[in-house]
Amino acid sequence: MNTASPDNHALPDAAGIGGIGAGPVLFMAIFLFFWISLTPFVDLTGEGILDPSAGNSNRLNQIVSLSLFACTLCYGLLHPLRATILQPRALLLPMFGWFLFVSLISNHPMLGIKAVILTVMATINASIYLLMPSSEKQFAKMLAIGTLITLATAYYGVVFKPEVSIHQLSELREPMNAGMWRGHFPHKNSAAAAMVIAAFFGLFVMNAWSRLAGIAIVVLSVVFLVHTGGKTSSAMLPGILILAFVFERLRFLRIPIAVGGVALFNLFAVGSAVFRPLGDFITSLGIDATFTNRADIWRFAFTALAENPVTGYGIKAFWQTQELVYSGGAVETWAVAAANGHNSYLDIALMTGIPGLFMTLLWVLFLPLRDISRLPPANEHSDLTRLFIRVWLYVIFNAGLESLFFEGGNLLWFTFLYCLYGLRFQSSATLTGKRFAPAERPEAHA
Per domain, the residue ranges of the chain are 22-428
| Res. 421: pLDDT tops 80 | yes
pLDDT digits 0-9 by tens, 249-281: 999 999 999 999 999 988 887 887 777 777 777
Q: pTM for this one?
A: 0.89
pLDDT digits 0-9 by tens, 304-354: 999 999 999 999 988 888 777 665 544 456 677 777 888 999 999 999 999
pLDDT the model gives residue 9? 35
pLDDT the model gives residue 340? 86
The pLDDT mean for the chain works out to 86
pLDDT digits 0-9 by tens, 25-57: 999 999 999 999 999 999 988 665 555 455 455
pLDDT the model gives residue 299? 86
pLDDT digits 0-9 by tens, 344-382: 999 999 999 999 999 999 999 999 999 999 998 888 899
User: Torsions phi, psi of 153, nearest 5?
Assistant: -65, -45
Amino acid at 171: E
Task: Give the H/E segment covering residue 172.
Answer: none
Sequence-separated contacts (24+) of 384-388 with Cβ below 8 Å: 384/3, 384/136, 384/139, 384/204, 384/208, 384/422, 384/426, 385/422, 385/423, 385/426, 386/204, 386/244, 386/248, 387/200, 387/201, 387/203, 387/204, 387/419, 387/422, 388/419, 388/420, 388/422, 388/423, 388/426
CA torsion sign for 299, 301, 307, 310 is negative
Mean pLDDT of 386-409: 94
Amino acid at 148: L
- Report the percent of the chain where pLDDT is more than 70: 85
| Res. 20: pLDDT tops 90 | no
pLDDT the model gives residue 93? 97
pLDDT the model gives residue 326? 62
Closest C-alpha among 98, 88, 150, 82 to residue 123:
88
pLDDT the model gives residue 15? 38
| Res. 7: pLDDT tops 50 | no
| Res. 434: pLDDT tops 70 | no
Assign 289 a pLDDT band (cuts: 50, 70, 90): low
Mean pLDDT of 418-440: 65
pLDDT digits 0-9 by tens, 149-191: 999 999 999 999 999 999 999 987 788 999 999 999 999 999 9
| Res. 245: pLDDT tops 60 | yes
pLDDT the model gives residue 47? 61
